[in-house]
Amino acid sequence: METKKFSRGQIFSLDFIIAMAIVALAIGLLLSFYQTTAAQEKEARVQNELNVIALNASNQLLEKNRCSPAGGFAGQGYKLFGCLDGSKFSSFSTSAGLSKGSLMIPEGFNCYITDMEAFGNIQILSNICPSDTPAGVTDVASVERNFVGHAGDVTKYDYERCVAGLYPLDCAGAFGQKTINVKVWKA
Amino acid sequence: MLKGQVSLDLMLAIIAAVVFFGALVTYFDGLSSNVQHASAQNELKAVLLDVYAATGSVKAYGVSVEYTTPALKNSTLKECTIDVTAGAGGQIVVSTASAGVESESYENIDLSGVQVKNSAGAAITKFGCGETVTITP
């Protein structure tokens, strides 16, 4: 059977049009993949930066206000990591000279800090971190830190009883397990 | 078609292909330049974040740290410099002499008491990427 392959005046063959469409589609897919990957990488970088800043801010908050060892205990080189002196901490609910800078939260970043256990998830440090994450902000780092709260210096006896897991027998009233939540996002 | 005749289809296809690939090369040149710039900027940011985290640990835990800053991997970047300004309104700035790459910084962070010392023990404020320094609280 004879078929007519080309007509007079024909500019493009169907083959050619299909081939070009496939090439355009393939390049489009490639660019779309590249764009998606680049966006995901950027998102991961931003999130990583926020995580580091939030973690560092929580470190500054907890470790700069660490419980001090009492009496002879102080001279033995102990540092009570993870124990927050409530008497120092409570002063932070007001201005008390504290700033975002002292938590090492750089300019251009915002924060919101809540005490999740002691007072039932209430906001603290409202003078420096006044409001929660605004609607529409998607990149937010949220760090929860557990710690032991104690008002005033800690004796070696009390500390060792708590570390040994005898809480709350010997620590009732003096110690409390608490959690703070630090949120950071880009302004 | 006659023997030896080049079809109009083929000629048009070649012309279209040349124009298309020309445009594609131009596009990828721009894209490549953007990617290089973003990559350089990201590398400076990564150095900044590393120095920030190390300084934060020093300040929080009150310990001295012998710290080696990350070295640059991006071959297009010239040497980078880290500038740590102590004090209540302190800042950490990572910059490079490479053209078109802006410096990255964290400003208004409290670095009171934080001191950077070189291997000879002298207090310094500027040091290079890949250099080992001691950060003290």
Q: What is the pLDDT of residues A45-82, one digit of tens each?
A: 999 999 999 999 999 888 877 888 887 777 777 788 87
Q: Dump pLDDT digits (tens) for A73-118.
A: 777 777 888 787 766 655 455 445 577 888 899 999 999 988 766 5
Q: How far apart are the first and last CA of chain A?
A: 74
Task: Note whether A26 contacts B: Cβ–Cβ < 8 A.
Answer: no
Q: Which residue of B has its CA nearest to A11?
A: B9
Secondary structure (DSSP) of A58-86: HHHHHHTTEEPBPGGGGGGT--EEEEEEH
pLDDT of residue A95: 46
One-letter-per-residue 3-state SS of B100-127: CCCCEEEEEEEECCCEEECCCCCEECEE
Q: How far apart are CA A41 and CA A38, in angstroms?
A: 5
| ipTM score over 0.90, yes or no | no
Secondary structure (DSSP) of A4-61: ----TT----HHHHHHHHHHHHHHHHHHHHHHHHHHHHHHHHHHHHHHHHHHHHHHHH
Q: How far apart are CA A52 and CA A132, in angstroms?
A: 19
Q: Are the C-beta atoms of A148 and A83 separated by less than 8 Å? A: yes
Q: How confident is the model at residue A180 (pLDDT cuts 50, 70, 90)?
A: confident
Most A CBs within 10 Å, among B108, B111, B114, B135, to test the A interface = B108
DSSP state of A93: G
Q: How far apart are CA A94 and CA A31, in angstroms?
A: 52
Q: How far apart are CA A108 and CA A46, in angstroms?
A: 13
| Better-scored residue on pLDDT, A162 or A34 | A34
Residue-wise burial string across A29-66, b where 16 or more C-beta atoms lie within 10 A, e elsewhere: eeeeeeeeeeeeeeeeebeebbebbbbbbbbbbbbbbb
pLDDT at B90 over 80: yes
Residues of A in contact with B1 (CB under 8 A): 6
- Helix or strand run (H / E) with residue B9: helix B8-61
- Are A101 and B8 an interchain contact pair (Cβ–Cβ within 8 Å)? no
